[in-house]
Amino acid sequence: MIPSVTKAFPEDGPDKVFAGFLQNGEFKLQQCGDCQKHIFYPRIICPHCGSQQLRWVTPSGQGVVYSTSIPRGMAEGDYNIALIDLEEGPRMLSRVVGVSPEMVTIGMQVSAFISEIDQVKVVLFKPTTPKSEASL
């Protein structure tokens, strides 16, 4: 069955809805009502099962650095670009802040927060203390 144009291409697409949540200080992910998998980047159809039954949920905000890179010689100075594996499953591109770019390592545990880059609200990450270290 082919979805209706109105449902498949809503006026406020999922990327606009995601940006609206960020403007209101909320980090939201989509979750499929059929297969229950979380999704990022926002979409109109679940990439796992093809369902249109997507809802917005608040993620834990916890993640692990999958990969990191440092662009050098930028006008704003050195910074990191990181791929973050979210606890819920999706991987997102962001930055880890609060430490020097060289201190960001693969496997580092991080937590999300909303901030601004060039007056645009974005999801950034900061390092967290692993639970095993916090109990020492």
* Residue-range domains of the chain with CATH: 10-58 (no CATH), 60-128 (2.40.50.840)
Given a cut of 60, whether residue 31 has pLDDT beyond it is yes
Q: Higher confidence at residue 131 or residue 121?
A: 121
Spell out a b/e string for 53-91, using b for 16 or more CB atoms within 10 Å of the CB, else e.
Answer: ebeeeebebbbbbeebeeeeeeeeeebbebbbbbbbebe
pTM: 0.83
Residue 114: band (very low, low, confident or very high) from pLDDT cuts 50, 70, 90: very high
Using one digit for the tens of pLDDT, what is the confidence trace for 51-60?
999 999 999 9
Q: Higher confidence at residue 136 or residue 13?
A: 13
